[in-house]
Amino acid sequence: MRIISVINQKGGCGKTTTAINLSACLARLNRRVLLVDLDPQGHASLGLNLKPENLLKGMTEVLTQGTCIDDVICESVSPNLDVAPANVTLSSAEQLLASVPQKEQRLLSAIQSIRRSYDYVIIDSPPSLGLLTFNALRASDEALVPVDMGFFSLHGLAKLIEIVDVVARHTGHAVIVRALATMVNQRVRFSREILGEVHRHFTDRTFKTVIRNNTRLREAASHGLPITEYDSESKGAADYAALAQEVVALEMNLPVGATALESEPVLAEIEAEKYLGPILIEEIFTEASKRSVFKSEPNG
């Protein structure tokens, strides 16, 4: 079972859209998928036609009361796709868990106790860097970071690497991080420049698939449907289908028991002479970011 967090502390980057539609496209490839909504906004639940405000129990109860995750799962919201829903009550989880031992492992323990059989668990994380996000990272083998084509997304990607570094150092649990370019408009020069910078500095840690700007994706969410069911002929459906194929293709290449410290390539040094418009790239990536889990351990 592969556990992938879709994570970015920046909102509006296509995080929940990616969680929903990657899950649906993996399900179409005959993989059994559980989508875990870990965002108090409950948008992943809402985007699959569940009503967060009507939930009797969800991820809040799983994390704070020890409710079995099997007891909150909504089955077959789409073929091969189940959802563990959430609502606004999840925003109280950090306060409720403040004094609980091993509070950062609550989600991991819940997932390990699942009685159903899944090929993938996809976690839609909140747009913040608090305890819920830390739980998502601690439970995951991999993290997918949607990066929209803006300056702040590059900055956010660097900050997220810092958080992954913290997880690795404090828990001994490293996560393989891959960026996904979203909301790409190749006709806009600035969009092409941002895409180029992402690929240049994270060459081996960026999905080849890019998600193009597509109104049908927003429409699908408003109808409570994944893009595969709303408009399977759209550019959005084609892009997420390609992403799912790329994710599946990685199945046979994942090292058994390897950590990012052992298996990830060295992050390229950011040179001061490289620019993004008038802004130095080195100003985006802090020294703390450069000491990421992608760094190789010194010999000997």
pLDDT tens digits, one per residue of 160-184: 777 787 777 777 888 888 889 888 8
Q: Domain 2-290 adopts which CATH fold? A: Rossmann fold (3.40.50)
Flag the least confident range among 42-51, 133-142, 279-288.
279-288
Q: What is the pLDDT of residues 75-103, one digit of tens each?
A: 988 889 999 999 999 999 888 988 888 88
Strands (E), the chain: 2-6, 33-37, 74-78, 81-84, 120-124, 142-148, 176-184, 206-212, 275-276, 279-280
Flag the least confident range among 123-137, 144-158, 229-243, 266-280.
266-280
pTM equals 0.81
Q: What is the pLDDT of residues 220-265, one digit of tens each?
A: 999 999 999 999 999 999 999 999 999 999 887 654 333 333 333 3
Q: Where are the domains of the chain?
A: 2-290
Q: How far apart are CA 21 and CA 41, in angstroms?
A: 18
Tell me how many helices (H) and strands (E) the chain has: 14, 10
